[in-house]
């Protein structure tokens, strides 16, 4: 784990282990948590069968003292060809560790519900997305602007062209948040209106009325780990 849900939301919605655990448990996946942002790492890569790099309010291009350890851990997981799925910050960390580049999103904050077009379907995308695209909550100021060498683009949109990519056959990153509900996004956007900008915040809030493909994407994550 590389960070936490804002404290004001934890009491109502839970932190990342609870959010991910609730959606993975029906698929028979159990979580073991390592708080890398608090200096807690695994003793061995054999401690888990697969790895999920969580979101974080920190920036991959920031100066947090634990960032080098996080980059080393992800780099080691990829080098050992252990299954890895990076979400938001974890997605950006995968790109940075493998030689890609993360920067502020040229179009500004990505917030609210976004639709992502799949450009390279994979067998573990089972079931496939309806209409060749999926919708999830976005909540990011940084994003991957250059894919790592050898990476394959899987999905994106105009705001975030590199929203999902695969590195080899055992690692992929996803910029949006499959663990976030519309209610979580609504509270986050409401608390950050001045930071995001009022017009963009209002558009994000309006986008949350439609369905999200959270269960679909978590089924993909499970299939990926088991493939």
Catalytic-residue membership of 160:
no
Annotated active-site residue in 4, 91, 140, 177: 177
Which pair of structure tokens corresponds to residue 6? 């804002």
- Residue 88 bears catalytic tag: yes
114 is catalytic: no
- Let me know: does 39 contact 49? Beta carbons within 8 Å: no
Q: Which of 91, 114, 140, 179 is catalytic?
A: 179
> If we measure between CA atoms, which residue out of 218, 213, 195, 176 comes closest to residue 92?
176
Q: Which of 4, 13, 88, 159 is catalytic?
A: 88
Which residues have CB under 8 Å from 165's CB, separation 6+?
Answer: 95, 144, 147, 148, 151, 152, 153, 154, 172, 173
| Cβ atoms of residues 25 and 61 within 8 Å | no
Percentages (nearest 5) of helix, strand, coil residues in the chain? 40, 20, 40
Q: Which residues are known to be catalytic?
A: 88, 177, 179
């Amino acid at each position: 784990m590389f960070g936490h849900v804002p404290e004001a939301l934890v009491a109502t919605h839970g932190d990342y282990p609870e959010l991910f655990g609730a959606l993975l448990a029906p698929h028979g996946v159990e979580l073991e948590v390592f708080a890398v942002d608090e200096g807690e790492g695994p003793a061995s890569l054999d401690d888990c069968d697969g790895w999920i790099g969580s979101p974080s309010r920190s920036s991959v291009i920031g100066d947090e003292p634990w960032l080098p350890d996080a980059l080393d851990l992800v780099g080691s997981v990829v080098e050992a060809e252990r299954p890895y799925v990076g979400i938001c910050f974890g997605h950006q960390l995968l790109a940075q560790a493998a030689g890609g580049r993360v920067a502020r999103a040229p179009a500004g904050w990505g917030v609210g519900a976004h639709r992502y077009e799949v450009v390279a379907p994979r067998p573990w995308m089972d079931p496939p997305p309806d209409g060749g695209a999926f919708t999830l909550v976005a909540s990011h100021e940084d994003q991957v602007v250059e894919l790592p060498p050898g990476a394959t683009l899987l999905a994106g949109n105009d705001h975030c062209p590199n929203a999902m990519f695969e590195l080899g056959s055992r690692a992929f990153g996803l910029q949006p948040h499959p663990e976030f509900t519309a209610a979580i996004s609504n509270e986050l956007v409401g608390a950050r209106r001045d930071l995001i900008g009022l017009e963009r915040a209002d558009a994000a809030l309006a986008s949350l009325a439609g369905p999200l493909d959270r269960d679909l994407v978590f089924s993909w994550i499970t299939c990926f780990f088991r493939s």
